[in-house]
Structure 1
Amino acid sequence: MTNPAERLVDLLDLEQIEVNIFRGASPQESLQRVFGGQVAGQALVAAGRTVESDRPVHSLHSYFLRPGSPGVPIVYQVERVRDGRSFTTRRVTAVQQGKTIFNLTASFHHPEEGSIEHQLPPHHVPHPDTLPKVADEIREHLGALPEALERMARRQPFDIRYVNRLRWTPEELKGADPRSAVWMRAVGPLGDDPLVHTCALTYASDMTLLDAVRIPVEPLWGMRGFDMASLDHAMWFHRPFRADEWFLYDQESPIAHGGRGLARGRIYDLEGRLLVSVVQEGLFRPYPAQQPRPEQPGRPSDPAPKN
């Protein structure tokens, strides 16, 4: 059996079925809808396959339009919007069962020397080797992982370690700032294709970003009080990186209001270099009292439910 990192590489290896048209697998899982990071990562692969390799992606902007169905292939249609001397633009539409579920616009830039250089430094945080894996931290609190979480942990392609210990009680949540930080890296090698690393990190960027919105309200793991869904997702890629090496994902939520929460993230490497900036808005709706709540957290940024 392949390990989760190899399965992630396979998931990002789209089948080209026509010029500018690609098909991606959608694993049959217990989730009610396809994980948004999967759709974003696959869409970026489709865009990148139509661009010269000397032009890495520098930004993407995307919207989740409908929930995707697990187990059903997704078709990605690429529009070659512009091929300029320095920049290339692609628009991707993800279609499943005849309906558009996601769209993405990505811009690619031929590397050049800059006349201005600066960045915000990361906060001082512990080294990832000194922190417990999130699954171990949950086991410590609960005594054992629930079966659903155990299955999720076995197929998780990223090692996730929270900088601050998880909060479990109302007392711990009270007064908590809407901030979260995690160290992450793929659980195994991802090969040497830069596009795979970029799209793998795009996948990972959707896993924990909305944590910052939830932290003042409820524990991040366990029974959820809210149905959550990503509405949009934007990324800016500043430097080359490898997604199978440690990166720090520093996340904050400047506002939550009107059923929506905004989250911002900065991704750094071990040397403190800023690699990627991320912004996402999520939809948060409380479960009705009579509706059974999921016993596992799920991924907070699955494609948006129908309104």
Structure 2
Amino acid sequence: MTDVKDLIKLITLKQINPNQFEGYSKTVGSPNVFGGQVLAQALNAAYRTITNNRVLHSMHSYFLEAGNLEKPIIYTVNTTRDGGSFSVRRVTAEQNGITIFILSASFQNKEEGHNHQISMAENIKQPEELLSWTDILDQFGEVIPKQMKGFLEVERPVEFKPVELVNPFNTKDLPAFTNVWFKLNGDTSILDFALKQQLLTYVSDYNILAAAMNRHASKAHWGNTQTASLDHSMWYFREFDFDDWMLYSIESPNTSGARGFAKGNIFTRDGLLVASVAQEGLMRPKT
């Protein structure tokens, strides 16, 4: 995948019947299905059963089994509730009859009410000042670890620019946070809001566990730690456009029990808070 058209094709599911859909997978450099892909595809399935123009405002999910890249994923949607203002859908994802993922999503009528938000960090470096993952590969590809190089070599429909560039050879513990600018490749002018939310959810599974890993960087890295998304929740606050860079600001309040917890806020470049994310992931030292 190289641009947003490829990503839209990936997350737009084939309909089998009114409540069942089929999807396929693309690797992001991992041997298993990328969690962000399953999240976005499940939301695509849920949205396809919403017929009253309600808008996604939150979702909560669990990853139960690693997905197989070579086999289709079947998504089944259950209509849990259609109330006066809110609709709830439960989505189950299966491969070979085994449930690999479950998601609950809540949709709301558009309403007006009180409004406030936290501010984006001040004096943060702008994307134009930073190296992208592609730039890092071009400049340091001959010296960075093999596993990292392989990951960066995978073509993606989204470009990332980390604010804090981590030196993989400087093994010292780092603050438990990370900030990453991101931007979709290609024309984003024709996206409706439902599709924007699905695409944003896809991106939200990138980078989030890095904040937890940073705190233990003197001894833990992606090569000696088994990692996987365990659960993922997201809240959607405001409409936005993908026409500029967006900032994913992430912090990790805790690691324990071979798990890392991280939470993040996603802002437009001008500081509008559009979504918040929380995830716990496996961080098991390899023996």
How far apart, in 2, do the equivalents of 1:53 and 1:144 lie? 54
- How many residue pairs match? The answer is 283
Partner of 1:186: 184
Is 2:24 aligned against 1:32?
A: no
1:128 paired with 2:132, answer no
Evaluate the alpha carbon distance shift between residue 117 and residue 148 of structure 1 in structure 2; reply closer, same or farther with a 3 A threshold.
Answer: closer
- What's the CA shift string for 1:28-78, capped at 9, x where partnerless? 676321011100110000001111363110000000001110021101000
Which residue is 1:79 aligned to?
78
- Structure 2 distance, partners of 1:64, 1:99, is 12
Given that 2:134 and 2:152 are in contact with CA atoms closer than 8 Å, whether structure 1 keeps it comes out as: no
In the other structure, the counterpart of 2:96 is 97
- Cα distance in 2 for partners of 1:147, 1:64 equals 24
TM-superposed CA distance for 1:157, in Å, is 1.5
Instruction: Check whether the contact 1:128–1:183 (CA below 8 A) recurs between aligned residues.
Output: yes
Amino acid at match of 1:184: F
1:211 aligns with 2:210: yes
Confirm or deny that 1:260 pairs with 2:259. Answer: yes
The runs of 5 or more residues in structure 1 that have no matched partner are: 289-307
CA offsets 1:115-162 (integer angstroms, 9 cap, x no match): x22111011211112211023124433446759846754521111000
Contact kept? 2:258, 2:285, Cα under 8 Å: no
- Report the equivalent of 2:271: 272
> Pairwise mapping of residues 150-169 of structure 1 onto structure 2 (< 5 A)?
152-169=152-169
**Contact persistence 1:218–1:224 (CA under 8 A):** no
- Structure 2 letter corresponding to 1:178: A
- 1:12–1:196: 8 Å Cα contact kept in structure 2? no
Given the superposition, is the C-alpha separation of residues 69 and 140 from structure 1 closer, same or farther in structure 2, using an over 3 Å criterion? same
- Which aligned runs of 4 or more in structure 1 are off by greater than 4 angstroms? 144-148
Structure 2: 5+ residue stretches without partners? none
Structure 1 contact 28–71 (Cα < 8 Å) conserved: no
Q: Tell me the TM-score normalized by structure 2.
A: 0.91
> What RMSD, in angstroms, separates the aligned Cα atoms of the two structures?
2.3
Q: What is the Cα deviation at residue 261 of structure 1?
A: 0.8
**Identity across matched positions, percent:** 38
- Displacement of 1:216 in angstroms is 2.4
Report the equivalent of 2:175.
Answer: 177
Partner Cα distance (2:100, 2:241) in 1:
29
SS at match of 2:7: helix
**Counterpart of 1:261 in 2: which secondary structure?**
strand
Name the structure 2 match of 1:108.
107
Q: In 2, Cα distance between the equivalents of 1:244 and 1:238?
A: 18
